[in-house]
Structure 1
């Protein structure tokens, strides 16, 4: 790298998309945020069109023309899980003409890079859903299909919320064990019974979308000592531990001091019952592993990947991290 070059960093999640226009000195010129752009939800064509509009908005925010040379675009999208999905998305994005070179992959890789500089690392995201990827210093990667129950996945905020509702319903009508989730779920919706919640959602009197917020109810009830809720949290911890340790074993990292990066809303919430159990499980498998919950947004990782690819300095990487730690995206 002989002179300062521009790059694009994109993190396209299920609920939001961040696009950053920055340079190889670590300076941020444009930072915009828009709706989710997962190709799994929108389809590839619609997802790329959405990101294309955000790229244009980032250039406008930087007061740069659409024709300004951009050396690199690092694009990480939710729902791009299978190799074929990566290939199709990469071809569609390369056809946009945003940059001179591109890399496209799953957004969990961006989370990983945001959380560590180590070449040996595993990342697990537990937000609305759950996913895990890993990488080794020799370039090998590990990943899972992350396609839900058909792919063997278990957990994530939406799944945990549905289990809170399921156990509350069964606890109230007697099909399942007694649980404090009964009272907590009814109170969460301002109802006297879980049956009233069920009827309200079924008849459209209560928004079904509010069911997703029950994951926090589950954790609160578990923290208060409820056995049913604690079993669900323990299962989630074991699933996250299994993903991380299986990925590490695939890459031959078990006895190395590799990094485990944890992210997503469920893990960032800092629930001690969950996070402590993951720590203990991973350390029992890999005593030299180092675990951390990443606070930086995944778009930071996309930007760091761009700096890596363009041969930028460590000072530039530190500058980019610092700039994005305080930057506020322009909402579109």
Structure 2
């Protein structure tokens, strides 16, 4: 019995998978980013959600032999060690890995092999893993000091450009009309409570990114914002490849930015002609299950490469 977790700042998925029967269950829950909700809440959500998933296939926490929790906000070894220690109490028979949430889509997109992932959602990060387990990372520093080219970054620049255009202190852009229509506003000051009094202001700003990207083909200002974002994506990917030069030039694209905006992929391909970009087709949490299997066989060379990917994929697709 294996548990994979794809935990983010707004939502979390837990996938329980039993190899003997090929039975699986996926349960969704709220945020598990410990820097936002705290260690106790994050651990509690993980354990309760795992119990729900296990219960659906008639298993318990004691049956779990491998667990990989890929969590947003896990960036340092001491953070990982702390969560491993806390989860070990609830899963006493499991080998446990706690790592950054980018590792789930990376492993899902490469079927557990070496590769690079570029995650573009509310935030951005590029992560690579070599065949011998060396991990390299670029970006992922959050909306205050990083996340260049992210949904938040694109959305914020788009909203700012719209306001500046309305107030005649910036280039003219049709983005203001888009803001008006999207938020049903008559003037920019009406946008203040819409954003600042929302349940999640960061997500509210990031939600405008899709509108900016959609306008890029017909609006010069929007096009400039998107070009800037793509250049940031290129910088992130190249930074990882400088650290892992022997990894194949094939990048998995994960996150809402790339699922809903095909032109971002096209622009990346135009700027990095020596690199293949593929949209993640599987649920990221399936990668976490593969990692859960790997962690139980980390001292047995090659074992993790033979994980039952087809069975995992089939089980996840049916849920």
TM-score (norm 2): 0.88
Tell me if structure 2 keeps the 8 A contact 1:307–1:317: no
Q: How has the CA–CA distance of structure 1 residues 268 and 99 changed in structure 2, closer, same or farther, with 3 Å as cutoff?
A: farther
1:118 & 1:59 partners in 2: Cα distance? 23
Report the equivalent of 1:268. 259
Alignment partners' CA distance in 1, 2:139 and 2:21? 34
**Would the aligned equivalents of 2:124 and 2:147 in 1 still touch at CA under 8 Å?**
yes
C-alpha contact 1:80 1:89 (8 A) present in aligned 2 = no
Partner of 1:51: 46
Instruction: Tell me by how many angstroms 1:101 deviates.
Output: 0.8
Runs of 5+ unmatched residues, structure 2: 298-302
Q: Write the deviation string for residues 252-303 of structure 1: whole angstroms up to 9, x where unpaired.
A: 23xx53321110101111331x2111122233xxx2x332010312111011
Deviation at 1:147? 2.1
- Within the alignment, does 1:75 sit opposite 2:61 as a pair? no
Are the equivalent residues in 1 in contact too, given 2:143–2:153 (CA < 8 A)? no
Match for residue 84 of structure 1 among 78, 85, 88: 78
CA shift digits 1:61-111 (9 cap, x unpaired): 1122444x2211111111112333223222222232254211110110111
The counterpart of 1:63, out of the listed 58, 63, 73, is 58
The answer for unaligned runs of 5 or more in structure 1 is 1-5, 328-332
Is the Cα contact below 8 Å between 1:8 and 1:20 reproduced in 2?
yes
Residues 73 and 99 in structure 1, CA contact (< 8 A), matched pair in contact too: no
Q: Does 1:161 align with 2:155?
A: yes
Q: Which residue of 2 aligns with 1:227?
A: 220
- Match of 2:140, SS state, is coil
Rounded to whole Å, the distance in 1 between the matches of 2:112 and 2:199 is 47
- Conserved 8 A contact 2:7-2:72: yes
Count of paired positions = 312
Return the alpha-carbon distance in structure 2 between the equivalents of residues 221 and 188 of structure 1: 13
1:229-248 correspondence runs (5 A): 229-248=222-241
Q: CA 1:31–1:202 in 2, change beyond 3 Å: closer, same or farther?
A: closer
Distance 2:110 2:49 in 1: 27
1:87-98 paired onto structure 2 within 5 Å? 87-97=81-91
Residue 276 (structure 2) aligned to one of 290, 294, 298: 290
RMSD: 2.5
Seen in structure 2, the aligned counterparts of structure 1 residues 75 and 205 have a Cα distance that, compared at 3 Å, is closer
Name the CA distance, whole Å, in 2 between partners of 1:50 and 1:205: 23
Cα distance in 2 for residues equivalent to 1:58 and 1:298:
17
TM-score, structure 1 normalization:
0.85
Cα deviation digits, residues 174-219 of structure 1 (max 9, x gap): 11111111211112122344x2533553896999664442112211
CA contact (8 A) 2:117 2:251 kept: yes
Asked if 1:320 is matched to 2:306, the reply is no
